[in-house]
Chain A
């Protein structure tokens, strides 16, 4: 008889939305309080945070817009100024938002951000950096540039780390001091890292419940919980959020309540690439009826996976080590490093199959997906599929293509089990 699978929803994650709403509300009202506002791409917002600036985070804003259902209207506004559909949807989302504000095109109020005093351009993704340049051209907004290369070979890491540290010391800090009119606040940076360290440590305990069989929660639950370990870093409210979550997971585990009713998952899936922020419900509904749960992925594991390495006494080095230290994530974005990282996750979370979420408008996480699957399949004997869609652009999401490929993946796993 067919099992009717259903997700057991967590209570603790209900409290993330108010935290996230408050974060964006504080950003929206910052100018009224006389605070400086920054917009940041790439993982560079920690530095303006240290200076007390209210700062947006490009991917975080996109996920927020996806969550509140505002993405589509912003993308349409972008189209009106000639943005082409192949362009990064995060880029289009921002140019659409600015266009809507400048031209009074009606959009969701919560999606309107104050124009920034500074664009902090962390060129981690080369394409995300282009939106800063566009706003300089359009609005003359000052840019603080920071080149953050992916590490393609381990031997390059020391010199890239040195290069990034040098940029932080010679460009980032002096520019922020100039814009804010005060010395760089190293003490505040240490505080932020200290809170982050505590938050990420509890989060890591929660991760252990993704490794249990059956799983106690899912990747989607973690995805909506990511803000405290990324763009809300330094906000102490993230600590009780994760404490509460951990408590619920421990309770579930103790009482035999799995993430998936009635008795746990059939397939344990690795998810590669961005989270489909505007379509979380849709994707959950695609996996759940088959008894599949997504449990881990490179992108969500980017967020300070190794809190022990955070040293608040060495704040600048810690901030840079996140990307370029011994466990630095900048290596995982180059395809060869991806093989290593995904392999670790496959082992740690007892994965049955891989889904590579290939965003048509973003190639950041797509690099060499098919070769990565091939290499991992040979090593671990598990299958993988690529599904093509987008993080927020509904025009790029084809249900039938995704359904067919997921069905093929599940059948493939079944076949190997026999």
Chain B
């Protein structure tokens, strides 16, 4: 298990080097897909390698000549990386411009300053009722498929897409299995390692990742762990679009918390909902996955299901005692939801803590104090 985790650690420690090398090794074109809803299956079906764009590994410098500091971490670091030339291994980039306002920044900045060989935008509408939305979404995906085909020089057939969906669905199953094992014996793995596992799936060719995950699952299934019943189970919610600073996860565990499950983007959200009924019309099946209302994503404007209710369900399923809301600083879809989320948890007497995470500045000491207080409240000290 350590060996597999070390391999994953190597990939996620320097995704730039890994993806650049991947391009050299496979000879395939790399397409950066901005999180969270670009359908990677279509890129894969075009014979190219989709990678999910990540929060960068440096302080933002040049990027602030293009985006204001009051944009979220992944927006600013992506632009910073792009204008510094750190993403030159990406042959193309795809943006879902209606996900939030910040996503609307990318087309012009990238077109003017980076000029990748391929850039595509998707409008992917919110999940409103009615056939007009479904039809517009379907058109968006069909146009995307055509555009990918034109760039790759390969006519994408339904069979190609069906095959890609199969590979992606397998990846979802495997990640789901890892989460099942963690739920059964959460002491088996650290939260940061789980996040790295999901992140590796966003970076690696899914075929390779599937093999790696199979090996990991086989080790995890066999591994015995010593239960630590004194640790307090909590669920993490949010973390939209980007990884969380791993040190924060470590602090939580050092304080005696344990995370048997999560509702994070670089977590269970990424692999939720397999694509179903895809044999007859695979594009429609991709659209149907996007139209799923759960796990609730505030960028999709769903109002008849409450995110807090979903989080409570997950908490109960995992016999957890509280919820930590991980709010990415300057993430309006999450912040606009937060007061309602918090009030439902309060009505249900569920301990909740909100932590705002920023790309650059985190005062670990004050965060640690808040987490410590929360741990004591949850533990009834």
- B-binding residues in A (CB < 8 A): 81-84, 86-88, 91, 95, 121, 123, 125-127, 129-134, 136-138, 143, 145-147, 149-150, 152-153, 156, 159-160, 163, 166-167, 170-171, 333-336, 339, 358, 360, 362-364, 366-372, 374-375, 386, 388
Contacts and interface: CB of A to CB of B under 8 A. Distances in A.
Contacts of B303: 132-133, 136-137, 143
B70 A130 contact: no
Given A137-B306, A170-B132, A171-B130, A83 B105 contact: no
A371 B336 contact: no
Nearest to A165: B132
Interface in B52-98: 65-68, 70-71, 97-98
Nearest to A99: B339
B133 interface: yes
Nearest to B333: A130
Contacts, number: 165
B121 to A, nearest CB: 5
Given A84-B335, A145-B129, A369-B68, A156 B123 contact: yes
A137 B112 CA distance: 42
Interface stretch (B159-167, B259-267, B324-332): B324-332
B340 A171 contact: no
A243 to B, nearest CB: 38
Given A371-B108, A386-B68, A152 B101 contact: no
A46 B125 CA distance: 22
B21 to A, nearest CB: 31
A317 to B, nearest CB: 16
5 contacts: A86-B330, A146-B128, A363-B104, A364-B101, A366-B68
A146 B335 CA distance: 22
A25 B104 CA distance: 37
Given A147-B128, A371-B108, A125 B342 contact: no
Contact of B126 (A84, A123, A131, A369): A123
Contacts of A163: 132, 135-136
Contacts of B327: 84
B298 A171 contact: no
B340 A87 contact: no
A395 to B, nearest CB: 13
Interface residues of B, number: 55
Contact of A334 (B99, B107, B333): B107
A171 B132 contact: yes
B139 A159 contact: yes
Interface string B156-186: 0000000000000000000000000000000
Contacts of B108: 334-336, 339, 367-368, 371-372
Given A335-B107, A363-B101, A371-B109, A170 B130 contact: yes
Top 4 A-B pairs, shortest CB-CB distance:
A335-B108, A130-B336, A363-B101, A133-B303
A143 to B, nearest CB: 6
Contacts of B332: 86-88, 127, 130, 363
B68 A95 contact: no
B365 interface: no
B338 interface: yes
B105 A368 contact: yes
A149 B123 contact: yes
A136 B304 contact: yes
A95 B128 contact: no
Contacts of B342: 82
Nearest to A85: B335
A137 B340 contact: yes
Given A95-B339, A159-B139, A147 B304 contact: no
A149 B98 contact: yes
Interface string B102-138: 1011011101110000000101011011111101100
Interface in B339-375: 339-340, 342-343, 354, 356
A133 B300 CA distance: 11
A91 B66 CA distance: 26
Contacts of A125: 101
A96 to B, nearest CB: 10
A367 B111 CA distance: 14
Given A126-B100, A153-B121, A358-B68, 7 more contacts: A86-B335, A91-B336, A126-B301, A126-B333, A132-B303, A166-B132, A369-B68
Nearest to A87: B335
Nearest to B128: A145
Nearest to B306: A137
A363 B301 contact: no
Contacts of B133: 147, 167
B356 A84 contact: yes
B246 interface: no
A163 B337 CA distance: 28
Nearest to B302: A133
A171 B135 CA distance: 14
A131 B301 CA distance: 10
A330 to B, nearest CB: 12
Given A123-B126, A370-B66, A83 B132 contact: no
A126 B105 contact: no
A130 B121 contact: no
A126 B333 CA distance: 9
A10 to B, nearest CB: 34
A375 B233 CA distance: 53
A152 B182 CA distance: 43
A21 B130 CA distance: 38
A370 B65 contact: yes
Residue of A81, A335, A339, A375 with highest tally of chain B CB at under 10 A:
A335
B273 interface: no
Given A126-B99, A145-B126, A336-B107, A152 B339 contact: no
